[in-house]
Amino acid sequence: MILRNTLSVIWTGCKTEIIYLTKLLKKLGYTGVYKTVSSRDFGADIVFTDSEGFRNVIQAKRYSIKNQVGLSAVQEIYTSMRYYKAKKSIVITTSTYTNGCETLAGVNHVKLIDRKDLIRIIEAFQSDENSKAKEIIESEPRIIYESWKEMKEPLKDIKADKKFSKTLKKSVQ
């Protein structure tokens, strides 16, 4: 079994997390696994095809436990889906995520795999429980909006600049 404090030892050096994850995905039996180019990767580090035959893109973030992954990771991986013709997107980190990152991921159906999930995946793999590891990787992301039906209801302003709205209203009158 992997010791929880040795995760950083597994992922050491520049881009080692990407190499480790690429090898892990191949050993788990995934197909179409490849590392993207290091420069101008359009937000994805790894591409693979899951058990259902869908292409996935992964962005890997090796952060210290105290440093949370923010919004940009979700923004980058989500937009990379079109470029790589992927149906699903995943961000994997050795840390955790900010609340804003989790919200944006939930709205955009981006799968987040944090430190605890990553340790579970590695432990399952090391115990020859590949199906369990794959289940964690392929489980549905936490979704905030169940469907677009909710969008038919009158929309309230989201993060509107109220001061600007008042100024605009006065200038239009």
User: All domains of the chain, ordered by start, with CATH?
Assistant: 4-146 (3.40.1350.10)
97: which DSSP letter? B
Strand order across the 111-113 sheet? 31-35, 46-49, 55-61, 88-93, 111-113
For all residues of the chain together, what is the average pLDDT? 85
As a whole number, mean pLDDT of residues 29-38 equals 92
What per-residue confidence (pLDDT) applies to 32? 95
Structure tokens of 29? Answer: 């039996």
pLDDT of residue 4: 45
pLDDT of residue 103: 92
Let me know: does 8 contact 24? Beta carbons within 8 Å: no
The candidate with the shortest Cα–Cα distance to 133, out of 53, 43, 25, is: 25
pLDDT at 10: 55
pLDDT value at residue 166 = 79
Say if pTM beats, i.e. exceeds, 0.75.
yes
103-143 per-position pLDDT tens digit: 999 999 999 999 999 999 999 999 999 999 999 999 999 88
The confidence score (pLDDT) of residue 147 equals 53
Q: Is the pLDDT of residue 3 over 50?
A: no
pLDDT digits (tens, 9 = 90+) for 54-72: 999 999 998 888 999 999 9
